[in-house]
Structure formats: structure tokens, C-alpha cells
Amino acid sequence: MTNSVDRRSFLKATGSAGMISAGMISATPGTAFAENAAGPVVHEVAAPGMDPDAKPEHTIKFAVIGLDHYHIMGMTAAVQRGGGQLVSLYSTNPKAIADFRKRFGDVKLARSEDEILNDPSIQLIAAAPIPDQRAALGIRAMRHGKDYLSDKPAIISLEQLAEVRKAIKETGRIFAIMYSERLEVKAAIKAGQLVKAGAIGRVVQTVNLAPHKVNDITRPDWFWDAARYGGILCDIGSHQADQFVYYTGSTVADVTASQIANANYPNHPDFQDFGDMMLHGNGGAGYVRVDWFTPDGLGVWGDGRLFILGTEGYIELRKYVDISGRKGGNHLFIVDHKQSRYMDCSEVVLPFGPQFVADIVNRTHIAQDQDQTLLATELVLKAQKNARRLHFTS
């Protein structure tokens, strides 16, 4: 049998025996089933991109308000990496306060939110209260002369978005959103560098698959109430819309179609465990699927994957796990006209913290473009509001 054997002809010729024996399959060259076998994959370790030991250029004082989602841990650490000095904290959740202090030390506990807002030495407020409270808190912070970094979703209605945009215009302050699935994922940082360098030509489409794990015994009541967290597209989907806007470079975009469902939680009728949306912009197209169906056997909270299609190649990210066996996360694959490459991105330095602190000092938008940040939010709010609700009954 030669390497040019046609697979269909082979199956037809052997089909008269009723089955292909295991022995026959093992004796058949692998190329009989692959007309265009791939060449060797080049393995690389991605360069850090920045000096991992560099000291921050700038220093600011910041405070934290709201510990309702533990994303605040990563947000606080990012600001500290950039030169932020954490001076105070406000929360009414004793366990969360204890957990936060266990990681960040005996931070001063403010007596009220106003104590922090009225402290003129504080330049930034990082916040993760319940989602329906985040936009209003950000507006108060900006009107007190402070910049604001919110957990996602930072805004859960188009009405809130209009108020935020008005406050930004009137105060000149920064309203940032921690889209951590791009800003705090090393493989996503490397993908952005490759895209900007033209490694895959012009981006045509992004595809985001973002499964999550429910862990229902640890979830607070608001987690199950779409009116409080904004709905699945607004919540999880905000990460993915940010990636679509960023990697396609879109400055104008809209929603092509969207749908949501509660497929598996009848005891929580206001919860949504599945959603997807199609997006289009002046820089490319996008597809997003989000869900709460990560099985316990995976070992991590979600097999987040990103595909970036370009005119000269494509990139795939396995952000948190590679089920084919590679250890850890931050796996990047890139294919162009020359070769296929695998990049271990575990040594890439995360730039958001230093860049964001520098933005606060210099009044720039290097870490996160303000218009693109709110465009991503606008997309998910429109997608959520106009989503078709699916019902699976069979």
C-alpha cells in the first residue's frame, strides 16, 4: 500500500469483510488516513517581553471597596505589581475581609465607603461589589476625583453605560474594567504581540469558547439572579467581547445575533447557564460561546480557548489547561505559511499593572483603551438585552 492511497477507496475495498480488523488498521501507515500530513511542530518558550525584575516607574495610593467576588485578589495584586500602595479597604463581609488580609496583610479597614471617597490621598479605587452596584460606585469615585478599576461586569444595563460615559466626559477620570481573561493571561498577552506584529496577517475573526464551573455550594444568592449579575452574556461574555474588540482592532461594532438558555438549573429560574453571540465590527467578525458546564473531571474551572483567524495564518490559545497532556496553562499554537509552532507562554510578563499605574500618573490609556473598554461592554449589553431565549424540552 502506498502513501497516496485514497482513504475512501481503502474503506470501500475493505468494507466487504464487514469490518476492518484491528490488525489491519495497525499495519496501515498513518498517512493512509491523512492526505496532507502536517510537518513537525516547532516548540518554543515565548520571551518575557518585559524585564520580570524591573521596579515600577510610578507609585500611587489606592483603596479597595467591595469583596463580593474574589477577582478582587488578582486585581489588587496587579495594581501592586505596577507600584500601587494599598492603604485601605472597605467591606461588610467578615470572611472576605479575613481572606483578603491573609493575602495582603493587615490592611486598614475603613469605617465607610465615604471615608475612602473623601480621602484626597487616594488616587484609585479597585472594586468588586455585587455587579449591579459597580457602575454607580465608579461614578461616585470619578466624581470624587479618583480613577476606578472594576471587576467585570462593571455595567449591567445600557442606562448605566450612558451614565458612566457622561461621568467620564465630565470628570476626565479613568473607568477601567479588569477583563482578566486577556489582561491577566500570559498566552493572551503573547497573542496580542503576535497579532500586532502581523504574524498571521490581518485578523478576520475571533472565536472564544469560555466554559466555567458552577461550584454551587459556594455561590452567594446574587450569583443566581440575572437582575443582579446582568445575565450570562453580560457577565462571562464581557471577557470575550473585550478580546474580539482588541484582537480585531474594531472601533465600531455591533451584535449580529445572540441567544441564552437555562438548560440545567430549574431550581434557579433566573439563572442562565448557556449563551452565545455573533459579533461584527470594522476590524473583523467574532463568535462567543459561554457556559457553566465545566465537568468536575477537568481539574480546573474551565477549558478557555481562543482562536484568532488571520489572512496569513491562525492562532489558538489553550489558556488554562491542555487536555492533550501538556502541564499547566498558557499554551499558544500558531500556524502560518512556513510552519506550525507551539509556544509555552508561562514566562511572559504581564504588563497591565505597570501600564495602568503609569496611565493614572500620566493621564494616558496605554494599559486599556477607554473607548474600546466601553465598546466591549456595549456589545454584551445589547447582546443580553436582545438575546433569544432558548428552551430545551426533549
Q: Which of 181, 182, 191 is nearest to 331 (CA)?
A: 191
Residues 182-351+382-390, CATH architecture: 2-Layer Sandwich (3.30)
What confidence score (pLDDT) does residue 310 get? 98
Domain ranges of the chain: 60-178, 182-351+382-390
pLDDT, one tens digit for every residue, the chain (394 residues): 333 334 444 344 434 433 333 333 333 444 333 344 566 899 999 999 999 999 999 999 999 999 999 999 999 999 999 999 999 999 999 999 999 999 999 999 999 999 999 999 999 999 999 999 999 999 999 999 999 999 999 999 999 999 999 999 999 999 999 999 999 999 999 999 999 999 999 999 999 999 999 988 889 999 999 999 999 999 999 999 999 999 999 999 999 999 999 999 999 999 999 999 999 999 999 999 999 999 999 999 999 999 999 999 999 999 999 998 899 999 999 999 999 999 999 999 999 999 999 999 999 999 999 999 999 999 999 999 999 999 998 8
Burial 52-81 (b: 16+ CB within 10 A, else e): eeeeeeeebebbbbbbbbebbbebbbbbbb
Model pLDDT, residue 251: 98
What is the CATH number assigned to the segment(s) 60-178?
Answer: 3.40.50.720
Q: What is the pTM of this model?
A: 0.89
Decide: helix, strand or coil at residue 278: strand
Cα–Cα distance between 51 and 44 in angstroms, integer? 19
